[in-house]
Amino acid sequence: MKIVKTIDEVRSIVKGWRAEGLTVGLVPTMGYLHEGHASLIDASHRDNDRTVVSDFVNPMQFGPTEDLASYPRDLKRDAALAEAHGADIIFNPEPSEMYHEGFSSFVDMTVLTQELCGLSRPVHFRGVCTVVSKLFNIVKPDRAYFGKKDAQQLAVIRHMADDLNMDLEIIGCPIIREEDGLAKSSRNTYLSDEERKAALILSKSIFAGMDMVKHGCTTAAEITGAMKKLIDSEPLAKIDYVKLVDVATMQQIEKLDRPALCAIAVYIGKTRLIDNFFTEDVK
Ligand code: AMP
């Protein structure tokens, strides 16, 4: 496996693969890889002849008060994990390689980004859409892999690819959790021991919400109310949002009369964590 730093080199390697008639999968990440990322690399390795993992902490998707500077980075460790799961290239550009001087073109989206994380992170999805479009143009993959952990991001990317006629398949992969239920995330490394214990309240409330749906509850306020009560019982937790939205529009709904996403964002101390479930996945 090769670590590649420039766009030209990625293009030239992918061109060689294409000349041999090989298919290509792309797994976009911000690095500090864990088993959640590994599951996407596994899926790409299974579906495609070659897999490119991008490893880039994208400055454009961070707000001015967010954790860009402190975001964890470890390229050596990432390379070992990606290789073990079948990646052929790690693309790890410097910000200046992705955003040259005078960079001034953006990909933005309206409706789907107005709820949930879009409310508390106003510049986030413009940064995500722009960088993912760039990665699609650089790698030109047959398929790209995204985790359901970032459910709104997955919906936004699907919508963008459809709106802009991007010629690839977007594959959504299940959330990978720690043994005790906490969704795996590079940001879990910010948590102290005490906060790590408190963070379990996210998955507990997600499982409680799933249980209510499973038992036939269709009133959004009842489900989110019970989940909020549970989260509020944890002194270190501060709710950003707990919402049920239509999966197609990401707009809030009152009744579970269509496929819905239940999404939460909660601060544990200074660390903002997210989790969710799709009602369609509740059996
Ligand atoms: P990130 O590096 O956090 O930007 O994530 C890169 C990709 O990995 C995104 O598509 C995420 O949704 C996905 N991902 C992150 N954590 C998990 C997880 N616990 N389970 C499944 N996918 C994940």
pLDDT digit string, tens, across residues 125-183: 999 999 999 999 999 999 999 999 999 999 999 999 999 999 999 999 999 999 999 99
Q: What is the pLDDT of residues 36-60, one digit of tens each?
A: 999 999 999 999 999 999 999 999 9
- CA distance linking residue 24 with residue 144, whole number of Å: 9
The distance of Cα 203 from the centroid of its chain, to the nearest Å, equals: 17
How far, in Å, is the centroid of ligand 1 from the Cα of 27?
10
Atom nearest to 174 CA in ligand 1: 21
Helix (H, G, I), strand (E, B) or coil at 113: helix
E strands present in the chain:
2-4, 24-29, 50-55, 89-91, 143-147, 169-173, 237-246, 260-268, 271-278
How far, in Å, is the centroid of ligand 1 from the Cα of 37?
5
Averaged confidence pLDDT in the chain: 97
259 pLDDT exceeds 90? yes
Going across the sheet that includes 24-29, the strands are 2-4, 89-91, 50-55, 24-29, 143-147, 169-173
Q: What is the pLDDT of residues 73-119, one digit of tens each?
A: 999 999 999 999 999 999 999 999 999 999 999 999 999 999 999 99
Report the pLDDT averaged over residues 187-210.
98
Considering only CA atoms, which residue is closest to atom 18 of ligand 1? 36
- CA distance linking residue 240 with residue 243, whole number of Å: 10
**pLDDT at 283 (0 to 100):** 78
Report the pLDDT averaged over residues 62-72.
96
Pocket of ligand 1 from Cβ distances under 6 Å: 29-30, 36-37, 39-40, 146-147, 149-150, 173, 175-176, 183-186
- CA distance linking residue 224 with residue 204, whole number of Å: 13
How far, in Å, is the centroid of ligand 1 from the Cα of 147?
5
Report the pLDDT averaged over residues 184-204.
98
- CA distance linking residue 268 with residue 234, whole number of Å: 9
pTM (2 d.p.): 0.98
**pLDDT at 15 (0 to 100):** 98
Degrees, nearest 5: CA angle 224-123-117: 10
Give percent above pLDDT 70 in the chain: 100
Residue 37 annotated in active site: yes
